[in-house]
Structure 1
Amino acid sequence: MFPIRDHNPSNCTPYVTYGLIVMNIFVFFAYWPLFAEPGALRQFFEAWAILPARITQGEGHVTLVTSMFLHGGLLHLAGNMLFLHIFGDNLEDEMGHWGFLGFYLVSGLAAGMGQVLAAPYSSVPMVGASGAIAGVMGGYLLLFPRARVDVVFIFIIFFKILPLPAWMMLGVWFAIQLVSGAVADLSGGGVAYWAHAGGFAAGMALTLPVWLKRGGRDHWSKTQGAPANPAATYRWGRTDIPTVRRKKRRR
């Protein structure tokens, strides 16, 4: 289950969102050759990724920022940039370009510290923009709980696109992070679930002043939690591929 787009158009060109996407892609391919050298890649991550044990000792604070622009593989990068592209433009529209940039970075810092607090003696490097993007998702949920998000459900070889309200899609995502984080604490794991949860909670808290400025509950009452702009509509284009119908068997 993953989102592919929302129905919430923005009024401005999201320069910061686009810039963050370009920067993440540029940084990733700058160290892409290291993936062919596991030892060199490990040293690179140990230098620039978050190592909770090092942060706990009062060192490596710069990695709380640098780690936001590092990714462990193409799928990791692609997934994060997809989420940022879907949800980032609307937050940037509400907060302004510089306000959104500060919001994004602070959410990422909070996410990193969330993982440090959850595993203060871990020496496993943590990389990825997931924590900052989780903050974007938390802010989106507060401002647009009923915006429609198209989600792809995949079950083995079958898939279906369903439009879901943001509160359902993002709420389920957040619940998964909490449950997965608790399970990972018991069994160990390779995903920083507590960073995701921490970033999400921080994003909601940081967006609270914007929500209150727009009237808080009154804002929800006026808009019913939906975007103020007319929702975007999508239609699948016609296809030249003919429909092949199953033939009935003769008895």
Structure 2
Amino acid sequence: MFPIRDHNPSGRTPYVTYALLAANLFVFLAFLGIQTDESAIWEFYGNWAIIPARVSSGEGYLTLVSSLFLHAGFMHLAGNMLFLWIFGDNLEDEMGHLTFLGFYLACGLGAGLIHVAMGPQSTVPTVGASGAIAGVMGGYLLLFPKAKVDILIIFIIFFKILPVPAWLMLGLWFGMQLFGSIGSDPDAGGVAYWAHTGGFIIGAILALPLLIRLGGIGFWNRTHGHPPHPHPEYRLVRSNIPRVPRK
């Protein structure tokens, strides 16, 4: 189950979201050649990925930012960029371009610091924009809890696109990250659950002043938790293949 789009168009061009998408793709392609060279990629991660033990010792603070633009593989990149594409434009629309950029980086920095705090002696390199994007999701949930999000459900050979409210999809995602955080071992590598959980909470907290400025509960009452403008309805393209009824 994963989201493929939302029904929440932005009112202006999300230049920062586009720039972040392009920057992540550019960095991935720029270093694609060393992905198969194990020694080279580990040296690269050693310089630019978050290594909690290194940060805890007072070094490598720049990696809290540089790691946000690194990904361990194409599917890692594609998954993160899909979530940024779906949820980033709406926050940028409400916050403004430069404020959204600061918000994104602050969520990423906070998520990285929480990851370090939960495993300060870990020597496992950590990369990915997911901590910052989790913050975007937290902010989105706070502002647009009832916005429609289309999710693709795949079960073996069965698949279906199902529209659900944002609070359900994002709440379920956050619950999974929180559950994964409990008992996770930072020294074992894998998913950085604490970065996801922390980034999501930080994003919701940082978006709270915006919600208050928009009117707080009054904003929710005016919009009923939906986008403050008409949302598009998506339909699957009708097939030209004739349907033969069963006898």
Same fold per superposition (TM over 0.5) = yes
Residues 115-139 of structure 1 deviation map (CA, whole Å, 9 limit, x = unaligned): 0011111100000000000000000
**1:50 & 1:242 partners in 2: Cα distance?**
55
SS at match of 2:89: helix
After superposition, the Cα gap between the structure-2 partners of 1:189 and 1:63, relative to the gap in structure 1 and judged at 3 Å, is: closer
The Cα shift of 1:243 comes to: 3.5
Q: Does 1:45 align with 2:48?
A: no
Q: Which residue identity does 1:145 align to in structure 2? A: P
**Alignment partner, residue 191 of structure 2:** 191
* Structure 1 stretches of 4+ moved >4 Å: none
**1:186 & 1:93 partners in 2: Cα distance?**
36
**CA RMSD in angstroms, aligned pairs only:** 1.4
**1:200 & 1:106 partners in 2: Cα distance?**
12
Query: Which region of structure 1 is more displaced relative to structure 2, 4-13 or 230-239?
Result: 230-239
The Cα shift of 1:23 comes to: 0.4
**Alignment partner, residue 168 of structure 1:** 168
Q: Which residue identity does 1:75 align to in structure 2? A: M
Q: Does 1:224 align with 2:208?
A: no
Q: Where do residues 80-229 of structure 1 align in structure 2 (5 Å cutoff)? A: 80-185=80-185, 188-229=188-229
Residues 66-107 of structure 1 deviation map (CA, whole Å, 9 limit, x = unaligned): 000000000000010000000000000000000100000000
Matched pairs, number: 247
After superposition, the Cα gap between the structure-2 partners of 1:209 and 1:222, relative to the gap in structure 1 and judged at 3 Å, is: same
The Cα shift of 1:15 comes to: 0.4
Structure 2 gaps, min length 5: none
**Alignment partner, residue 21 of structure 2:** 21
The Cα shift of 1:240 comes to: 2.4
Q: Where do residues 34-73 of structure 1 align in structure 2 (5 Å cutoff)? A: 34-73=34-73
After superposition, the Cα gap between the structure-2 partners of 1:103 and 1:187, relative to the gap in structure 1 and judged at 3 Å, is: closer
The Cα shift of 1:185 comes to: 3.1
SS at match of 2:42: helix
Residues 26-48 of structure 1 deviation map (CA, whole Å, 9 limit, x = unaligned): 00010101112011101101110
The Cα shift of 1:187 comes to: 9.6
Structure 1 gaps, min length 5: none
**1:125 & 1:3 partners in 2: Cα distance?**
28
**1:186 & 1:41 partners in 2: Cα distance?**
20
SS at match of 1:226: coil
SS at match of 1:36: coil
Q: Does 1:240 align with 2:240?
A: yes
Q: Which residue identity does 1:222 align to in structure 2? A: R
After superposition, the Cα gap between the structure-2 partners of 1:188 and 1:16, relative to the gap in structure 1 and judged at 3 Å, is: same
With normalisation by structure 1, the TM-score equals 0.95
Q: Which residue identity does 2:105 align to in structure 1? A: L
Residues 37-65 of structure 1 deviation map (CA, whole Å, 9 limit, x = unaligned): 01110110111000001000000000000
Q: Which residue identity does 2:60 align to in structure 1? A: G
SS at match of 1:99: helix
**1:117 & 1:196 partners in 2: Cα distance?**
14
After superposition, the Cα gap between the structure-2 partners of 1:154 and 1:211, relative to the gap in structure 1 and judged at 3 Å, is: same
**2:218 & 2:13 partners in 1: Cα distance?**
28
**Alignment partner, residue 30 of structure 2:** 30
The Cα shift of 1:156 comes to: 1.4
The Cα shift of 1:244 comes to: 5.5
Q: Which residue identity does 2:39 align to in structure 1? A: G
The Cα shift of 1:224 comes to: 1.2
**2:100 & 2:172 partners in 1: Cα distance?**
25
